[in-house]
């Protein structure tokens, strides 16, 4: 009954003799990730180990070798299918004693390739965006939904004479006089509530025209993005 449950689950359940590594059981879910049937993987007892990306094999083998009975660890590693496709697994691995067969290691692995690629695309797009805004002739600031700074371009950092590392995690109340921080927080909340951009002219510290907008991912609100650029006294007079 237990084996039937394992064979129909989405997670890859496996166990093996650790030294030398030899796979003794793996559930049918492995076929999708490894592009080989569970029977093929078990028939060639080292097929699992051989499928692990060569840059991750040492970590996998070392982690298994150092596990003592009753201990567990979680690993993320790549596997390579016979066709060359690379997939990412998150594997919760445990070691236990078997009185008949000696030490046994086993794991419950999940294919996290889709999540990993999505995170990678997000990191790449974030890098492109941050590189792009460094060349814009304006201050650019991004806050999370709690109002904490998560990014600022170099121009903004120079305008308030702070390093980016010192800015991260700060709120308006950490950076500005209380009356200004209150105004900025209310402006941010207006954008969060309405979902619409908000434009304002700041004159108290520097003559700046700023636009705040909401960054969305589908229906989810992710962050606030604020862009501000300097305006001349002539433009300021016209605005008044």
DSSP for 12-29, written as a single string: EEEEEEETTEEEEEE-TT
**Inter-residue contact 224 to 188 (CB < 8 Å):** yes
Can you tell me the distance from the alpha carbon of 240 to that of 235, in angstroms, rounded to the nearest whole number? 9
Can you tell me the distance from the alpha carbon of 17 to that of 20, in angstroms, rounded to the nearest whole number? 7
Can you tell me the distance from the alpha carbon of 139 to that of 151, in angstroms, rounded to the nearest whole number? 11
Q: How confident is the model at residue 217 (pLDDT cuts 50, 70, 90)?
A: very low
- Confidence at residue 102, expressed as pLDDT on a 0 to 100 scale: 74
- Confidence at residue 224, expressed as pLDDT on a 0 to 100 scale: 62
- Between 14 and 4, the more confident residue is 14
For residue 182, the 8-state DSSP code is H
First-to-final CA distance of the chain:
78
Residue 230 pLDDT exceeds 90 = no
The two structure tokens encoding residue 62: 């070392």
For residue 112, the 8-state DSSP code is -
Q: Phi first, then psi: what are they for 203, rounded to 5°?
A: -125, -10
Residue-wise pLDDT for 21-75, tens only, equals 999 999 989 999 999 999 999 998 899 999 999 999 999 999 998 998 889 999 9
- Confidence at residue 13, expressed as pLDDT on a 0 to 100 scale: 92
Helix (H, G, I), strand (E, B) or coil at 191: helix
Residue 234 pLDDT exceeds 60 = no
How many alpha carbons lie under 13 Å from residue 68 in its C-beta half-sphere? 0
Q: Where are the alpha helices (DSSP H) in the chain?
A: 2-7, 30-34, 38-43, 47-51, 54-66, 113-133, 154-159, 164-167, 172-175, 178-194, 233-239
Q: How confident is the model at residue 6 (pLDDT cuts 50, 70, 90)?
A: low
**Inter-residue contact 225 to 211 (CB < 8 Å):** no
Residue-wise pLDDT for 79-128, tens only, equals 999 999 999 999 999 998 765 667 889 999 999 999 888 888 877 777 76
Can you tell me the distance from the alpha carbon of 59 to that of 39, in angstroms, rounded to the nearest whole number? 26
Instruction: Give the total residue count for the chain.
Output: 240
């Amino acid at each position: 009954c237990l084996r039937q449950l394992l064979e129909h689950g989405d997670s890859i359940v496996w166990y093996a003799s650790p030294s030398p590594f030899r796979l003794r059981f793996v559930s049918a879910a492995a076929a999708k990730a490894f592009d080989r049937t569970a029977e093929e993987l078990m028939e060639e007892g080292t097929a699992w180990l051989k499928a692990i990306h060569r840059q991750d094999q040492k970590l996998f083998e070392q982690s298994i070798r150092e596990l003592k009975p009753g201990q567990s660890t979680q690993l993320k590693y790549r596997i390579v299918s016979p066709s060359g496709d690379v997939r990412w697994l998150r594997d919760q691995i445990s070691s236990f004693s078997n009185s008949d067969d000696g030490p046994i290691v086993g794991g419950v692995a999940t294919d996290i390739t889709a999540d990993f690629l999505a995170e990678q695309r997000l990191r790449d797009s974030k890098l492109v965006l941050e590189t792009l805004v460094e060349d814009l002739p304006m201050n650019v600031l991004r806050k999370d939904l709690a109002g904490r700074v998560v990014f600022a371009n170099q121009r903004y950092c120079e305008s308030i004479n702070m390093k980016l590392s010192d800015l991260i995690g700060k709120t308006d109340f950490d950076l500005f006089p209380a009356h200004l921080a209150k105004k900025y927080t209310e402006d941010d909340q207006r954008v969060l509530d309405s979902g619409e951009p908000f434009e304002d002219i700041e004159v108290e510290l520097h003559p700046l025209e700023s636009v705040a907008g909401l960054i969305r991912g589908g229906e989810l609100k992710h962050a606030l993005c604020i862009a501000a650029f300097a305006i001349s006294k002539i433009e300021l007079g016209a605005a008044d």
